Each structure stands twice: as C-alpha cells, then as structure tokens.
Structure 1
Amino acid sequence: MPPNVAPYRGLTVVNASRGLAGATTAQLLAGLGARVIRVEEPARGQEPSPSRSVVNGWDRDGDLFMHFGRGSESIVLDLDAADGRTALARLAAKAQVVIEDEQPKDPRGVRAALRSARVGDAAFTLASITPFGLSGPWMDLPASELILFAMSGLMAHVGEPTGEPVQVPGWMVQGHVGLAAFTGIASTLPIDGGPVTSHDLDIASVEVLHNSNPHAIADYHYKGAVQHRQGSRGIDGYPWTVIPCKDGFVGIIVPQTRWDIFALWMDRPDLITDPKFSDRLGRRQHPDELDVIMIDWASHLTKAELYVGGQERGLPFGAVFTVADSLDSPQLAERHFFGLAEDGRTKLAGLPFRLGAVRPTVGHAPTLGEQGAKIASEFGLTAGKGA
C-alpha cells in the first residue's frame, strides 16, 4: 500500500473484541495501514472451527467472518485463564490501540488486565465498546442488535403507522457503532508523528444510536412534538414514498417546484390544477388517492426507466436495489467497490472510502491462530502464557 494511502502505517492495533462493531473498527484501521492483531479464543472442540470472536455463534467458515476477518492477523489466547490475560496485556503494552467489548462486570477481568498493561512507557488508546457504557444503572445489561435499536428510540419511528415498530435488517447497528468507535480512536491519535498517549474511550452503543436521532429528540424537547411511524411516506411533503413498479420498487420524491413536470410525465395534466393535488398540503391530505394514480402509472415502467426518467426530469427518484442490483451496479464497479475473497470468486464489500483514486484493500481473513507463532515470538509470549 503506497504511503499516501496508509496514514496509520506503523500503528499496531490489538482487537480483543468479539462482536461485529469491534471488527468493523479494526478493519477500517487496517484499511488505513494499521497492523491489526486479532485475539481469538480456543475453538473448544466445536466444529467447524468456530470463533467466539464472531458474534452470536457465527462460524469462521461463514460469510460474516470472510468479510469481517479481513485485514487482521490471528493469535489464539485463552482469556478465561490468567496466563491468557497476562499474554493479552503484554500484547497491549506494545500496541497503540486496543479494542475490547467485555461487559463491565465480566468476572474474567479482561479490561482490568488491559489497563494494568500501562506501566512505564506503555501507552495506548483503550476503546471499550459495550451496549450501555461503563457506568449507569443499565451498564451490566446484555443487549442484542434488536434491543439496542429498540432502546435507542429509533425503532419507534420505523414501520407502518398502524403496525408494530420494525427492526432494520442486517447488522446496521453494529456497523454504525463500529464507525463511531473508529472516529473516536482517530481523534486520540497524534496527527504530527508525536508520541501516543493513553486514552480511555467509553463507547456506549445505545448512545451512538441516540446521536443518530437528533431531529426527533430536539423536536420533542423543543416543540413537544412526537414523531410517529410513517411507513415509507415522508413527514414534510408528498409524494415522498416507495411504490411498486413493473419489476420491483422505486423511491420517489417530488418537490413542489417539480410537481407540474411529474404530473405531465404521468400524462395527468389535470393534477396540476386539481385542488386535492396542486399543492403540498393537498397531497398530504390525500396520499391514498394519489398512490392509486402513481402505482397504476408506475406498473407499466421498470425501476430503471423510472430512475433514469426521474433523474432526467430533475426528480430525485431511486430504484430499490436488490443485492443482485448492487453487485451489477456500474457506479460501484467503476469505483472498484467490491473485492474478491481468497477463493477468487466470492465478492465482498470493500471499505467505505477511497483515498484519492485508491480504495484500500485489507487482504483475506486469517485461519484460527494463523500468525500465532510469529506474533508470540515477536512479542515475547510463550505457550505457557496462553499463546
């Protein structure tokens, strides 16, 4: 990797976290040139070679580890044993960043072992990722993706008005928290080549999500207004929605200044002067009637035709992509977003940034303990110390 796209070259990161948030953070640091050492725990006789470092039983041979394991070296340490925690502390003492996600009162004391490594000249940023933070009445409560999304207040706004709140799919919460942890770590690192100093980052996942919901919080506290679930309909104007079309779905937004253009495109000039639809207030009061008109029109067009036609008319339309659509996207292809796994055929999402014209790459996911002997020798660890 050229130096100009590796600003963290020379930085050593120890990733002792088990979840996908920590893995996201570590991979971003690796993409910027850092050396990431992933501390994994013994397979403990399970097959096929599962890792407790991957959340909720995802095995190392699955798609998640194929993606999130990239960019790391792997060493196996038994953190249930005192020798393993001692070895972890010795690793941390020679690193500049350490990531962990132990629950605040976990009896193993991994976090305490890491803090004990700060002796003499040893200094590093310790990023602790937990559901609710390292203090407060909820600090020891376990949580999942669903629970965090629910308790952040965000879930209350997702779903149809007459239905129950809905969770967002995928691992968006963990990814969002990982990005926040990366930002926090980056803010602690010297920008002028100066010495690294010790910092403790307390990253509460639920606070990251609350920070992503500022409008609803301010609206309620300042105005006393409560935002309700709107489904795919926008709050401030209409059309702002998702409708079915000939081969899928399309998201459409029609500003008031472009309403005439949209009505003519639908071959419905009468909508320009009809008081039910001629202005934003009228359309907000009659969305169901307008939906019938728009859906009938869109049923004869593909999502590609709607997307291109809308953009050509200055209307911010967007096709609802499937995974297959994303993999075939000419935009993502031109920017070299997807890379290939070690098998040479499986496409994996790339890092979410480019430096200049270069998208950093992070290599393949390691096998369990693949670099263990090398790391143990380099850091002065022995088999008796959990390596």
Structure 2
Amino acid sequence: MTEPTGPLKGLRVVDLTRVLAGPTCTQMLGDLGADVIKIERPEAGDDTRAFAPPYVPKTKESAYFVGVNRNKKSLTVDIAQAEGQAIVHRLLENADILVENFKVGALAKYGLGWNELKEKYPKLIYCSITGFGQTGPYAPRPGYDALIQAMGGVMSLTGEPKGEPQKVGIPVADLFAGLYGTIGILAALRHREATGQGQQIDIGMLDTHVAWLANQGMNYLATSENPPRLGNQHPNIVPYQVFPTEDGYMVLSIGNDPTFERFCKNFALEHLLADERYATNAARVGNRALVTETLTAVTRTKPTKVWIEALEALKIGCGPINTLKEVFADPHVVARDMVVRMPHASGEEVTVIANPVKLSATPPDYRLAAPVLGQHTDDVLAGLGYDAEAIAALRKGGIV
C-alpha cells in the first residue's frame, strides 16, 4: 500500500455508510487522501456486497461494491453491542470526520448520534446523509434512489411525451447526495480551520434532487407551469436533441443562433434563415415539431460517422450515442485515464472507473482497492491499542 498523496492526507474518516450515497462521499474523501475506516457488520458487511451478479472477474466481490469503496479499510464491528460502540469511540478520539447514512435517530440508540457526540468531540465534522434530511414531516422515511427521482420531479421530466415517466438509467439521486455531502464536508473543514469547531452536515436526498432540477426547476418557478416531458429534446433550446441518421442516431446540440445559421449554410438549408419560424431560438422553441421534422429529413440522408466528421469540422456540437463498450474504448476517455487497474486482496487486479477530479499538484490516488470484508480489522484494532488476546476475545464474542 502506498502512502496517500492527496490534499486531504492526514484526515481521518469514520465511515458508517453503506450502499451508494454515503460510500460515494467517503470514496471521494479517500481518493483525495483521507484515511477512511469503513465500519461494516460482521459476516454480512455492506449491503452492496450482495448486489450481484455481476462479480468482478476471478473474485467473489460484487462489481457494485468494488466500484464505490476503494481507498477504504474494512473494519467489522457490531455497533449494537457496547464493546463495539467502545471501538467506534476509540476511532473518534482521533477522527476528523464521521459520515453516516442511517435512518434519522438510528445511531442515537447506540450513543453514536450527533447529539451524543458533539460535546465529547467538539472538532468532529459529522455528515448525515438520509433520504429526507433530519427535519420535516418525511424525515423518518427511508430513502431510495427511484423513490427520490419520483418525488423530486425528475421522473416527471424524463421520458417520451406520450409515454410513462422514466427514471434516469443510473442512480443519480444517490450520487448527487454523496457529492453534495463531500462539498459540505470540505466547507466544514474550512470552518473548523478558522474556528476550531466541528458541525453536523444534514444532507437529504430529496433536497439535493430539488437543487439539481436546475433550469427545469427555474422554468417552473418562472411560469408556475409544469414543464412537459420532451423525450430527448431540450426545454429551452432547439435543435438540441437526438436525431436519426442513415444508420442510427446522433445528438445535435445547436446552442445559439449563429451556430444554427452556420449549420443551415453548410447543409443546403439557407432558405430556413429567411423563415421567421426558424430565424431565432425562441421561434424554433415555439415551432419545435416543425423544426424537428424539417431537420430529421436531412439528418436521415447520411450515416452517423459522416455527420459527426462534418459537424465537428464546423465546430457544431454533436456526438454519437455510445454504448458503454464504446465509451470505455473512446480515445478521449482513454487519454483522460478514466479507467484504472488496482491490485486486490484476492490476488487479482480489479478494473475501476477513475476519479474525474484532475488536480495539478495533488491528484487523486489509488492506494487500496475495495477491501474484502473485515480485511483490515486486526490492523485497525492493533492501531487502537488492542493486543492479539483482546482482538481474539472480540472476535469470539462476535463483536468484530
């Protein structure tokens, strides 16, 4: 194992998270150099260890778990028992950050809630990630990605106009909550640096989902009208959508009037510029169906590759609709080192998606592949002062 080199080197994180939102947050902290101790249930571990198949080739580890738990040490502890809680307290004596995604109030019964810890560890930064936050009428409810996508409005915006509402194909509600949690932690670290005081960060998945409604949320606030589902079209820009080609599909992204003019002049559509229904973006939004029909007749005349080459030469936004196989083979993705291989405790190497944050002086590092369950229990306990006899007794008692 190499020593951390990232900007958070030296920070200690107690990770009481599982599944995706919390682990996304703590993996980001680990990638940036923090020492992350992931506390897991003895024998069972993080739920996502069982989210399989698929497994990482030649291992017994789920691809789901491996993808979001690198740069962490796995310590198995039964926090429902007093001896287990004592282990967590030993960790907290020198910890900077605790991240948890238990239901509201669940950790309090183990003496590990924010209210139970804040006076004993006044410098502790305590990040809670839940479905609905620590307050409000929904606070006690469990949160799940698809549920949050539904309640947060995104499903009402996604899908074909006459089809059923659709969720996004990846768990964006979990991922955004984890990333907002990271941002909150970094802000709290800055505050602690200035004041010496820790604080609780309250991340609700529904809150973060509402926050990233972005332009569509603002469209509603400006008009008091629910934006309709538009399939692959943009609510405020036309043409900015999927178009059929001779052999498939492509995305055409024409973001302003000068670009539309350039498109028309180069593809025998200059006559459209004299038609007020096409002349401005506002007019094109108002005549969305007409513009789509007109351009579809044109885009169907050439294969995708020919269109992409021609449009790129004109600096007009465009792109193929890649499968994941094509994504990971894309020369730009390869050049940006978005896939890394890491040695794993199984003796095999695991292939994972890299951290996208590019820092010139202190880039993310890849010290530890996702751990096997309890991989670091003995080492962590020894570092806390437990001798071999004490560790054996803890193991015999089912505490670790």
Q: Distance in 2 between matches of 1:236 and 1:106?
A: 44
Deviation at 1:378, TM superposition (A): 1.0
Q: Distance in 1 between matches of 2:195 and 2:22?
A: 24
Indicate conservation of the 8 Å contact 1:130/1:204, yes or no. yes
Q: Which structure 1 residue ranges, 4+ long, deviate > 6 Å from structure 2?
A: 191-195
The letter of the residue matching 2:336 is R
Q: Report the CA distance shift for 1:335/1:270 in structure 2 as closer, same or farther (over 3 A).
A: same
Does residue 380 (structure 1) correspond to residue 374 (structure 2)? The answer is no
Give the 3-state SS of the residue equivalent to 2:228 in structure 1. Answer: coil
Let me know the Cα RMSD of the aligned residues. 3.0
Q: Distance in 2 between matches of 1:109 and 1:12?
A: 24
Alignment match, 1:365: 370
Indicate conservation of the 8 Å contact 1:336/1:359, yes or no. no
Indicate conservation of the 8 Å contact 2:233/2:240, yes or no. yes
Deviations 1:136-188 (A, max 9, x none): 11111122111111111222222222222210011222111111000000111
Match of 1:348 among 346, 349, 352: 352
Q: Report the CA distance shift for 1:175/1:233 in structure 2 as closer, same or farther (over 3 A).
A: same
1:134-283 maps to which residues of 2 (within 5 A)? 134-190=134-190, 197-254=197-254, 255-274=256-275, 276-280=277-281, 283=284
The letter of the residue matching 1:367 is V
Alignment match, 1:324: 325
Q: Report the CA distance shift for 1:359/1:65 in structure 2 as closer, same or farther (over 3 A).
A: same
Give the 3-state SS of the residue equivalent to 1:112 in structure 2. Answer: coil
Deviation at 1:206, TM superposition (A): 0.6
Alignment match, 1:54: 48
Deviations 1:199-219 (A, max 9, x none): 111111110111112444444
Unaligned runs of 5+ residues in structure 1 are: 45-50
Q: Report the CA distance shift for 1:238/1:178 in structure 2 as closer, same or farther (over 3 A).
A: same
Alignment match, 1:48: none
Give the 3-state SS of the residue equivalent to 2:381 in structure 1. Answer: helix
Deviation at 1:111, TM superposition (A): 6.5
Does residue 126 (structure 1) correspond to residue 150 (structure 2)? The answer is no
Alignment match, 1:20: 20
The letter of the residue matching 2:130 is T
Q: Distance in 2 between matches of 1:2 and 1:287?
A: 56
Deviation at 1:270, TM superposition (A): 3.7
Q: Report the CA distance shift for 1:28/1:232 in structure 2 as closer, same or farther (over 3 A).
A: same
Give the 3-state SS of the residue equivalent to 2:292 in structure 1. Answer: helix
Deviations 1:85-121 (A, max 9, x none): 3322322232100110110143873463565445656
Q: Distance in 2 between matches of 1:71 and 1:120?
A: 28
Give the 3-state SS of the residue equivalent to 2:37 in structure 1. Answer: strand
Deviations 1:258-308 (A, max 9, x none): 334323433344434455545545544554444344334333544343333
Deviations 1:304-334 (A, max 9, x none): 4333322321322222222122111222222
Q: Report the CA distance shift for 1:244/1:35 in structure 2 as closer, same or farther (over 3 A).
A: same
Tell me the percent identity: 21
Indicate conservation of the 8 Å contact 2:192/2:198, yes or no. no
Alignment match, 2:92: 92
Q: Report the CA distance shift for 1:307/1:92 in structure 2 as closer, same or farther (over 3 A).
A: farther
Indicate conservation of the 8 Å contact 1:79/1:108, yes or no. no
Indicate conservation of the 8 Å contact 2:6/2:365, yes or no. no
TM-score by length of 1: 0.86
The letter of the residue matching 2:133 is G
Give the 3-state SS of the residue equivalent to 2:75 in structure 1. Answer: strand
Q: Distance in 1 between matches of 2:206 and 2:231?
A: 23
The letter of the residue matching 1:265 is N
Deviations 1:121-144 (A, max 9, x none): 663111010000111111111221
Give the 3-state SS of the residue equivalent to 2:112 in structure 1. Answer: helix
Question: May I ask how many residue pairs the two structures share in their alignment?
Answer: 380
